A = this chain, B = another copy of it.
């Protein structure tokens, strides 16, 4: 059973970054253990998820999410154990996942928490393939990519938390799955560990030629996490009536000058549909998505990949590393 620490370490948003965040954009402070009120529980956090979308919230201007203010606690999903409860629906000892902060101990209303089965291994999968990144992959691919068996699904940031699940789901639907990732090591993992049919290294000087060769039948579904020059080139490989599920543009989050997409006309020429989406708009799909993902995971047909950093104090560096693409799979910070 979890015990409470003497103080609650918290990571605050300290400075607005220009381009890639640096460590001085964050500040570690110690505060008191929060007190809870009726309907809330106190949670000892064990695992923290650091995600690309947080970078967008560090901008001065609203993007798809409201901006964070300097001095606020950094937000993120965590997995933790209930150590106090003022609600009958959760007992001390229960394990939960929810949107909390980069901190040791969180107070949260029970209605914003999801109880999880602690016998699951690794538990951190509930921040990845079995959590919101897995759901994001499912919703984007199924609702907007609409893959049909035999079609080709291309995924950018294929080694990332979302992309790694997209390709596996595409394979389960009988599609050819091709990934794009940075570096030979990641590409090897994407093919050998995750079962993609091919994965092309965008850092190679031969990237465009290699990608075209890996896609002799073109692209029917493009699951885009990256934007920028990679997406610009991919647009020229789309088939007639291709579908683009746009989940993010991570190549542009730290850009001081935005890249211009020259091949916009391909959306017309190929009669392409594109959908920008975020998970929270599609709650109606979560039950079906959760069922399919959990069944596939339990059957050993879907893997959760993760990269784990040790210690809450290292969350800022893990976040920066993740933005630099150092992670394979879900970037997790182990707090306890």
Residues of A within 8 A of B (CB): 56, 63-64, 227, 231-232, 246-249, 252, 258-278, 281
Contacts and interface: CB of A to CB of B under 8 A. Distances in A.
A248 B252 CA distance: 26
Contact of A273 (B63, B266, B275): B275
Nearest to A280: B271
Contacts of A276: 266-273
Contacts of A246: 267-268
Contacts of A63: 265, 269
Given A273-B273, A274-B273, A277-B271, A262 B259 contact: yes
A268 to B, nearest CB: 4
Nearest to A231: B264
Contacts of A278: 271
A275 B271 CA distance: 7
A258 B265 CA distance: 9
Contacts of A263: 258
Nearest to A229: B260
Nearest to A253: B265
Q: Which of A232, A262, A267 has the most CB of B within 10 A?
A: A267
A268 B263 CA distance: 17
Nearest to A62: B269
B270 A64 contact: yes
